[in-house]
Structure 1
């Protein structure tokens, strides 16, 4: 069953920004590969898993929940890379690093929304998200700025 987002209560901060949480899912601390999920509305487009905080939910819990729902993975939630602001959408997203420990064969959105997931080298992940969710490049660049700079040099 597809989640009816019209009935989902959104959480906003005092400035009216929608609060979100997201994860950069990696296989290890080296962060050589990043897990991206397919867009359900735009075939061939990729993004990082994430979504809105539910009322009373902490951002760490929301990040873990969203990753399970959208990507079908479980892992160890690590450091926060910070809060990223999208002024156009009036959203603030706290982004965490998660080391994936388990990949489910089927998960909620793989069944309901035909969501796919795929591992990409970090350089390729930056290119993929730039096509669909350009602000997510900033998340990936914050993950390992020195590696990114070496790659782009």
Structure 2
């Protein structure tokens, strides 16, 4: 992988095609995030551009291998949000973590495991769209014991938070990516019953384009 911008790949509607993975452990209690190339103190969901003639699920697997140095079993595809990009977002159960990987060597990319709650909070600071996807994996809250996360998460899911109006986003729209998915277009993320079962194989993008 080289530090260059690859040719943009558009779908039939004119959206840039992208793919990303919410990388989790076996019981989906933890999420693996990677450091942003723009700011190594910020954490993001790994993902990037779909190359010409590449399927979104294969692109997702390739991107997490390049950016996070992990591979595993690709599972269900999550909801849909469009911000100039159409990004297929999958859940990937991590089965292998490499000691070194493409972007750790070239860009000093780091990775770190977070609890679901911690990941939602980390991403909500600067990546509310990504945060909303991770929040879909949170257990259903007990109505008698409201979580301190509930207001922030609900605001994102109910589309009360507009990422485009967030002043911290302007220069990082590419890093957020829209998050497309396998289903019909909706304003907010929704779960899909689709289950892919792909093992890990061995963009127009900058590396932070998730």
Q: TM-score, normalised by structure 2?
A: 0.65
- Equivalent positions of 1:1-153 (< 5 A) are 2-5=2-5, 8-28=6-26, 30-86=27-83, 90-144=84-138, 146=140, 151=147, 152-153=149-150
Higher-Rg member (1/2):
2
Structure 2, unpaired ranges of 5+: 151-210
- Asked whether the equivalents of residues 45 and 131 of structure 1 are also in contact (C-alpha less than 8 Å), the reply is no
More helix by share: 1
Structure 1, unpaired ranges of 5+: none
Judging changes above 3 Å, is the alpha-carbon distance between structure 1 residues 148 and 108 closer, same or farther for their aligned structure 2 residues? farther
- Asked whether the equivalents of residues 44 and 127 of structure 2 are also in contact (C-alpha less than 8 Å), the reply is yes
Cα deviation 1:73-128 (Å, max 9, x = unaligned)? 01000111133322xxx011111011100000000000000000000001110111
Cα deviation 1:10-39 (Å, max 9, x = unaligned)? 2112222111110011111x3110000000
Give the deviation of 1:146 after TM superposition. 1.8
Superposition CA RMSD, Å: 1.9
Q: Secondary structure at the match of 2:13?
A: coil
**Using CA pairs below 8 Å that are at least 6 residues apart, which structure has the higher relative contact order?**
2
| Equivalent residue, structure 1, for 2:157 | none
CA–CA separation in structure 1 for the residues paired with 2:38 and 2:141: 32
CA–CA separation in structure 1 for the residues paired with 2:23 and 2:141: 17
More strand by share: 1
